[in-house]
A and B are shown apart, each in its own frame.
Chain A
Amino acid sequence: MTSDTKEQKRTSIGLKIEDFSKSYDSVEVLRHVSLEVEPGEIFVIMCPSGSGKSVLLKHVAGLEIPTNGRIVIDGMDIAEPKTRSQLHMALVFQAGALFNSMSVFDNLALYPREHRLYDKKALRDKVMKALETLSLEDAAEKFPSQLSGGMRKRVAIARALVMEPELILYDEPTSELDPTMGATISEIIADLREEFGVTSLVVSHDRDLALTIADRVAILMHGDLLEVDTRENIKKSDNPKVKDFLNPVIDIKNPRFKRKD
């Protein structure tokens, strides 16, 4: 991630989630979530599986319409049709969402090609650099079906890097990765901020990621926002639910699944 090659000029953009609720049919997944991510901030949302992280990110990316509330990115409502084309925003999908009919190289090259960003050689360099960053240089000619789950995740991240976004939304970027690769991803997120002021909204269960690189951490549980604070304060939180979530103690005598509360 050096800045020696010609980089697009990037500005930091922030985002604001205002009183956001979402129900599917009659099931309420998220209730009155409000939070604000500052420009250039690394904001990590942690919550148990199935509590609506992916749903939240899909709405931030403007793929679905909220039941209530609105999401404002860089001062523009994402529900407006024109907003997205004015933003440089990338979403790393939880399952990768790679284009299965294209090679890894073409997956990464699709965005710059469709938007005619570089000539052939510069494009190749950009793509290969992104692949190298994620130790994927050998996978360039492979197809998504020939990759492991963790490799797909890394391709998805590489694909987002090629887009040179100002805001990246990561849906569990380190799940399915080994600890070293997980650390690499954390470093990439932090480095993108240092280098280009990229704003990152990360949803993850990864404690290490949250408690080392996050500027602020939000804990979301059962559709409600429990706590939003800096990582130091979150570590010291005395909310029992937050404590248990961050440092679950394995208690064989009194197992969780038999507890009554």
Chain B
Amino acid sequence: MTDKTPYRERSATRRLVYGGLGAVIFFGIGSLIYDFGLFSWMTGTRTVLSESEQHLKTATQARRQLEEERTARRDNPDAPAPAQPTGEAGYFVPPGDEELPDGPFGESVERGREIFRNTGTNAGEFVGNDLSCANCHLDTGKRENSAPMWAAAIQYPAFRGKNQMVNTMEDRVNGCFTYSMNAQDSEHGDAPPPGHQVYKDLQSYFYWLADGAALNEDLPGRGYPSVEETDQGYDWQRGQQVFTDNCAACHGIDGQGQQDLNGRTIFPPLWGPGSYNWGAGMHRINTAAGFIQANMPLGKPNSLTDQEAWDVAAYINSFPRPADPRQTDKMDVSTADERFHEGSINYYGDTLHGVLLGEGITQERWERFLRTAPFHEPGVD
């Protein structure tokens, strides 16, 4: 009995020391595992995918499935038709760069994409303003609800009320150059002539983007969404505040956009001589409201209320811009208003800020307007 107590005591101390050491070692290992995120690796479950990785995974799978289903159908005509590749958010998934074909067609696609991205540099002789296709069709024409090209490519040829004829995709793009890109003020003085390489390259790009989409399908995300009409209607005066708070940081309080040190337009002008003309779809307040709500401010889609979207769309379309090229010298603004602008929501033909909207821009008129403009231009007191 007498030598039992010291034995016990020693064992208690030793147990404590071992226990303590063990705890420290386990704790050390534990924090290492935590710090280096090894837990999921040890248990075999991959770390939770980030949102971006999840999207990419779904998109890649959808494209791969399309490829597999095509192959299956090639081997067996009775196999079901390939499904349209669809991403996490339910929108069509265009091909990625890894699917870009080699050879002349792939080269044409790439040229088309560069024209789309940087129109002033790559199709400069037909561009009469400071815009690029990609300014209004974000993510180089791939963004849903930003009039994506994968949705447009499968809709033409089609009859268009705007020019009362069947339009091929070339005709449609000709319209973009004529109005949105204001080709009348370009070096060439007009949109590219029929059959021009610019059309071919752009069409190659669009056709390639739509790979896997069914012809004539009305794909979700096509065009710009429409914004519900509000009780208060639209009002450019209310829009001025919305513009100052949400748009002016990029587009400038004078709406004339900004260029970078390389002279590249980074933020496009929204009115004035460098913007789209009175024939462009974006001059319609409802169209602009839809584009803006779904896409602006950049990186903050759908952050404006319906009312704010209507009002700010009215604001940017309440200022002078280049004339509608259909309104020739022989036609005055009110005739053009009746002929081309009736039945659409716009300020064409109204007199706002002391200017008859639609009469087009000359240097002298623009300077006169700037002197009385309702916005304060920084640096000009």
Does B associate with A? no
- B interface residues with partner A (beta carbon < 8 Å): none
- A interface residues with partner B (beta carbon < 8 Å): none
